[in-house]
Structure 1
Amino acid sequence: MKKLIALYVLCTSCVLFGQTKFEKGYFITTKGNKVECLIKNEDWIGIPDRIEYKLDVNSKVNSMGKENLTKVHIVDKILLERHEVLIERYSKNLDELSISRLIKPKKESLLLKVIADGKAKLLKYDFKGVQYFFYELNSNINSLEYKLYKTSKGYLGRNLNYQKILKDKLNCSNKNLKSNIKYKEKSLVNYFIDYNSCSDSSTEVYSQEIKKGKFNIRGKISLGKSKFKNNQYQFVYKIGSEIEYVLPFNNSKWSVFFEPTFQSYSNNEGITIGSITFIGVSGGVYSVPRYYDGEVSYKSIELPFGARHYFYLNDNNKLFANGGFIVDWALTDYLITNPNDLLPISTTVNYFLGFGYEINKRYSIEFRFNTPRTISSINERGSSTSDYTNFSFKLGYNFL
């Protein structure tokens, strides 16, 4: 088991090292130094704590913390800028909100994400799931003021002062711009595009609302080997399906999935499960394996829940690694149906590791190893347990 985990970690690390994607850009440090380089694009949701970069394709990977950066630009994709802004941080948790509607900001130096760049610039800062928006006009940067607070009756209130700011500071004499703009990235971007257009200025949009995730539904078949402790491995076939949700960030490299699978194991060897303890003639305590004779039959529905990480080789092919836990629903009441040795069955949760390859966004092959699952049985002879181990190769087909 330890050797397999070590191999898994080694393969994953090698793939992680080889699949990083660096794109042309530059950054400026707090000391004013501009560095032209290749920057690793992680498709960040918020502001990264640090960036990784290479001076050229063949150079080593370096990193720079956000506290040392005043600007980061990945050409045509991402623009981060440091500004001194007035901000009042708040929580989405009602119990943690202020009871004051008034905004009482403090000055902070923050690295902000530029969302729309033109005569008027829209910027964003993410912190603990809360988005704060700012605008820059004529080289002056100000907050689009918005705040959640708790009313005197304990309800959720909203200070929508940003709507007045848009009307007063970013209006257009030649065109009626939309009112009642939502405090959402997409809605604000559209407003800034309209304002800049009215001001005879183009708008470069660096980011839009977070992409939607994607569902995949796969059919799965597998061939592998399983065994109970002290038994020989037996070939086992499995058939199932997988529902996967690809998360809408980090370049769609992460997903979660649920994979109900039918599995069936049988042998004619009998089974060694638990042990018998006795006192010998000399007074010593001895323990020997307890053997049950008869046909062993174990059928169940496995319910794996897991997380998966993709390593893109190109637009159509990718490697992946996944892991998670398995809840097992036994379909057989007894491990052995010998009338003299009925063994009722109960199972525990176990875990799995896997890595594989997806081809043309449609076909997949995976090696999967399940950690030993404890099988328990209680009958008139007492309580007994045994470990059930399985590894397999899985073939998949994506229907979506």
Structure 2
Amino acid sequence: MKRAFLLLLISFLSLHGYSQISYEKGYYINNLNQKIYCFIKNMDWKNNPNNFEFKLTPDGASEIANINTVKEFGIDNTSKYVRHTVKMDRSPEAANQLTHDKAPVFNEELQFLKVLIEGKASLYLYEAGNLKRYFYNIDDLDVEPLVFKSFLTADNKVGQNNEFKQQLWNNLKCPSFKMNRMESLEYNNRSLIKLFLDYNECIDADFVSYQNQTKANIYHITLRPRFNNSSLLIENPVSRAKDTDFGSNSGFGFGIELEYILPFNKNKWSISIEPTYQRFEDKGRSKLDKVFNEELFVSVDYSSIELPISLRHYFFLNNDSKIFANISYSFNVKSDVSIEFERGDGIKLTPLNGKSGNNYAFGIGYKLKDRYSLEIRYLTSKEILENYMAWDSKLQTTSFILGYRIL
């Protein structure tokens, strides 16, 4: 079962190159100010690109354009990037990398900036990994950085250079804007986009927002009952008479998955947590005394509440269908493990009351209409007698999971 599962997983992953990232209607403007209509491969970039793939016709050959030859490009009703030489501060924001220097360290860079709001006052974003920098301009003036930097104060506490608030107070004049609003601004998409939208509306200016206000729900809740096929082996190197291989047995479980779709790369990645109840019951036997052929009857009753945390990748087949693969690390929240031993003459031996450990899981599945799903999940070997030094145990499970999304 394990080998078959791994082969199936590899087959699914091999489809990665064929997963659906489509060419969509768009355009680019070259250095001669020529506007070329084309079809651009929409990567839903998290990090600002330096190049992009395009086709001149839907069935044409794929070509690559880069920042040296393109001044601007956009995908219809989706996104727009413009080339600018800007003052870039790449000072780190991680607490363990901060310095005592409050001032930004600027270097000139040529970058494609993502247009968030385009109007009399325009807002741009540059993102690379954990680095986020916002830029703005008024009318056709030069694009300027909105200054923000974290630093260490004299007593080694984290301080913030929020010069961007003063910049916006000085340059975005609207009768309804008060100083307390500027003071409460945050250096993020939501806060800055709202301010630039309000400003352009305040002065009755034409503007375009490239933020999709009708973006699909990125939080999902799915009910996930499952059929489990499990096997258990317990061993005691000191007393081999109690070693028992229970073989495989079936059972049922239930989980509620809370999934967050990551807002980049065309919704192809997600993370989830799934509180899950599992139960395994079985009976086995071992030879207590091989000379007298005396048997030992062993029963196990195991139940647990687990919390798998998963990283999932989707492979789109069409608008209604997609397959997915995920890797999980499952934390044991609560478990009850009871293993009882009974001799052939009815005498009961000292039982075991175990404690379960954590384990990994790998799954592949199919989702229909973003509501119904089916997953096969292989859980790696789990120790359920973790609190007994003299005992080893291996509980392995393959789950067949049905899903119905309610949110």
Tell me the TM-score range normalised by the shorter chain. 0.7 to 0.9
In structure 1, list runs of 5 or more residues that go unmatched.
277-290
Matched, 1:331 2:332: no
Q: 2:237 maps to what in 1?
A: none
CA gap of 1:31–1:354, structure 2 versus 1, over 3 A, is farther
2:142 to 140, 143, 159: 140
Q: 2:241 maps to what in 1?
A: none
CA contact (8 A) 1:313 1:319 kept: yes
CA gap of 1:255–1:104, structure 2 versus 1, over 3 A, is closer
1:296 to 296, 299, 302: 299
Show CA shifts across 1:78-116 (max 9, x none). Answer: 111221112333333455445454455332222211112
Q: Distance in 2 between matches of 1:68 and 1:383?
A: 69
Q: 2:363 maps to what in 1?
A: 354
Residue type of the partner of 1:134? Y
Residue type of the partner of 2:303? S
Residue type of the partner of 1:258? I
Show CA shifts across 1:223-271 (max 9, x none). Answer: 2322235654322222333333333444443332232333333334326
Q: Distance in 1 between matches of 2:342 and 2:278?
A: 19
Q: 2:43 maps to what in 1?
A: 42
Matched, 1:223 2:241: no
Determine helix, strand or coil for the equivalent of 1:5: helix
Displacement of 1:324 in angstroms is 0.6
Q: 1:11 maps to what in 2?
A: 12
Show CA shifts across 1:122-179 (max 9, x none). Answer: 22222424333232532522233344444444444444444444455554xxx63624
Q: 1:286 maps to what in 2?
A: none
CA contact (8 A) 1:374 1:385 kept: yes
Q: 1:176 maps to what in 2?
A: 175
Q: Distance in 2 between matches of 1:87 and 1:295?
A: 69
Q: 2:108 maps to what in 1?
A: 107
Show CA shifts across 1:284-343 (max 9, x none). Answer: xxxxxxx97314324121512212233445666543322212234541232645524745
Q: 1:284 maps to what in 2?
A: none
Matched, 1:262 2:277: yes
Determine helix, strand or coil for the equivalent of 2:13: helix
Residue type of the partner of 1:245? Y
Q: Distance in 2 between matches of 1:358 and 1:188?
A: 36
So what's the TM-score if we normalise by structure 1? 0.76
More displaced stretch, 357-366 vs 50-59? 50-59
Determine helix, strand or coil for the equivalent of 1:19: coil
Q: Distance in 2 between matches of 1:62 and 1:11?
A: 28
Displacement of 1:368 in angstroms is 1.6
Determine helix, strand or coil for the equivalent of 1:9: helix
Share of identical aligned residues, percent? 27
2:377 to 362, 365, 368: 368
Q: Distance in 1 between matches of 2:105 and 2:298?
A: 75
In structure 2, list runs of 5 or more residues that go unmatched.
234-244
1:388 to 380, 387, 395: 395
Determine helix, strand or coil for the equivalent of 1:92: coil
Q: 1:282 maps to what in 2?
A: none
Q: 1:92 maps to what in 2?
A: 93
CA gap of 1:295–1:62, structure 2 versus 1, over 3 A, is farther
Q: 1:285 maps to what in 2?
A: none
Q: 1:322 maps to what in 2?
A: 326
Displacement of 1:43 in angstroms is 2.9
Determine helix, strand or coil for the equivalent of 2:297: coil
Instruction: Give the aligned CA root-mean-square deviation in angstroms.
Output: 4.0
Q: Distance in 2 between matches of 1:219 and 1:332?
A: 26
Determine helix, strand or coil for the equivalent of 1:270: strand
Give the length in aligned residue pairs. 379
Q: Distance in 2 between matches of 1:239 and 1:317?
A: 24
CA gap of 1:254–1:374, structure 2 versus 1, over 3 A, is same
Q: 1:238 maps to what in 2?
A: 253
Residue type of the partner of 1:247? L
